[in-house]
Amino acid sequence: MAATAALRRSSDYGSADTECGEPCETGEPVPLNEVDLLAKMEQLNKSNEEDSRSVASKKTGSSGSRKGAREQTHTPEEDEEDLWSVWGELILNWEVEVKKRPNHIKELVKKGIPQHFRMIAWQNLSNASVSSVHDLYSDYMRQTSVYEKVIQRDIPRTYPELDFFKDGERGQSLLFNVIKAYSVHDKEVGYCQGSAFIVGLLLLQMPEEEAFAVLVSLMENYRLRELYKPTMTDLGLCMFQLECLVQDQMPDLYTHFNNMGFDTSMYASSWFLTLFTTTMPLDIANRIMDCFLVEGMDYIFCISIAILQQARIELLRLDMEGMLKYFQREVRERYENDADLLFAVANQVQLNAKRMKRLEKDYLAKRTKEQEEAVELRKKEGTFHYFCDAAVVRRLQAVRKAHVSVGKICSYTYSYTISYLDRFTDTFMHGDEK
């Protein structure tokens, strides 16, 4: 079973005498012990069976009355027990459930995966638990990468506020290992700074080998690899699509951004490159990753639209500097104590698949045209430089023969260049009209 395999590989992530708990404020990874987790699952399953037998032995009317009373007096602790029970059974029967009730799993995930189960759930949702890249990790560790110096430079900038990633702590070495391994694994992408924050988020949930496997899956199956390619074509596409969505759904905000010269990439590029890990508090970033694993890149659009919808009135009153400050600081502060509102709005955002596909075709056509125009411009510039250089050479040769004065050389070359530049500019600007 994928879940059992994930548990077995991760059984050393934490100590046997440490209980599972909520993530600590310092950002330390939550220790998870296999024996404790399985024991908890068994206890809850046994409790559920006893409850079922008890209910079945009572009369229908009495049972319904008691059930109604029990539902009305649920405590947070009982709700947590119920959630543990649901997720415990889901993880233990993952292969069956994911085929039988994929939509049910998606709805559960969008409500938030319990912290105790994230390590296993993320591996299962991304299919990293059955990936063969686990076997490659140790080999990559023995190899060198051309990006090692750049990675070392960027690591101190990754979650500097968390104790786990402070200088000298184990988190920094794990971060280096996973990022370096991927740069060896995928030489075309190599290393992109935004990926460090995603790797850090994974390492707060699971050991490095498992984090590497999930990272590979995110890159290959969730569009991240296309975002991180040197050309960053897919990032440009995402910015174009988001801009068009804003124009469709919030035309007044779109106009305001345009009037201020506030390009979409100025506030949203980091949202897509880091999956909001640099924008949101850790608990919200975890929930966004939960949903990203079942919805893909579409969910990043949904969160983006939700943020803009709720900030629209305030943004319309701000200038360029004010908007930059808002996106850099105030977005995080706004949702620190109101995460449920963000996800409630995001889950209501509807993306039209046909519209998104049409925007993709429009963007790629526009990009192709711009590339062709750039090539043509370089050709014309090359022709211009060729004629200028050739003219200078010919004139210098003539000068040597005729012993023309230096003053005349400079005067002639200058006037010739200006004359040619005028003709070149006129041809370039109006050639298509003639």
The least confident of 52-56, 116-120, 250-254 is 52-56
pLDDT of residue 413: 39
190 and 146 Cβ atoms separated by less than 8 Å: yes
pLDDT tens, position by position, 355-367: 999 999 999 999 9
Question: Contacts by 252-261 with C-beta closer than 8 Å and gap 24+?
Answer: 252/312, 252/316, 253/308, 253/312, 253/315, 253/316, 256/315, 256/316, 260/319, 260/320, 260/323, 261/320
pLDDT of residue 93: 95
The least confident of 40-44, 100-104, 279-283 is 40-44
What is 234-351's CATH superfamily? Ypt/Rab-GAP domain of gyp1p, domain 3 (1.10.472.80)
pLDDT of residue 306: 98
Q: Is the pLDDT of residue 7 over 60?
A: no
Look at residues 27, 80, 22, 110 and name the one whose alpha carbon lies nearest to residue 281.
27
* Tokens found for residue 257: 């951004």
pLDDT of residue 426: 47
Q: d(Cα 382, Cα 387) in Å, to the nearest integer?
A: 9
Q: Is the pLDDT of residue 383 over 70?
A: no
Q: Mean pLDDT in the chain? A: 82
DSSP assignment letter at 330: I
Q: Is the pLDDT of residue 40 over 80?
A: no
pLDDT tens, position by position, 44-65: 555 545 544 443 444 444 444 4
CA dihedral (284, 290, 293, 294) positive or negative: negative
What predicted TM-score, i.e. pTM, was given to this entire model? 0.75
Q: d(Cα 300, Cα 271) in Å, to the nearest integer?
A: 8
pLDDT of residue 415: 45
For the domain spanning 130-227, the CATH number is 1.10.8.270
Q: d(Cα 288, Cα 276) in Å, to the nearest integer?
A: 8
**In percent, how much of the chain has pLDDT > 70?**
69
Q: Domain residue spans in the chain?
A: 2-125, 130-227, 234-351, 373-433
The least confident of 144-153, 241-250, 397-406, 424-433 is 424-433
Helix (H, G, I), strand (E, B) or coil at 280: coil
Per-residue pLDDT band for 82 (boundaries 50, 70, 90) equals confident
Q: Is the pLDDT of residue 35 over 80?
A: no
Q: What angle do CA 122, 125, 126 make, to 5 degrees?
A: 85
CA dihedral (265, 268, 269, 270) positive or negative: positive
Cβ-based neighbours of 151, under 8 Å, separated by 6 or more: 145, 176, 179, 180, 183, 191, 196
**How long is the chain?**
434
Angle subtended by helix axes 233-249 and 353-402, to nearest 10: 130
Q: Is the pLDDT of residue 420 over 50?
A: no
pLDDT of residue 390: 63
Give start and end residues of each alpha helix (H) in 93-165.
94-100, 102-110, 118-125, 134-142, 148-154
pLDDT of residue 77: 65
> Which amino acid, one-letter code, is at 350?
Q
209 and 137 Cβ atoms separated by less than 8 Å: yes
pLDDT tens, position by position, 119-170: 999 999 999 999 999 999 999 999 999 999 999 999 999 999 999 999 989 9
pLDDT of residue 425: 40
Q: d(Cα 426, Cα 434) in Å, to the nearest integer?
A: 11
CA dihedral (245, 251, 256, 261) positive or negative: positive
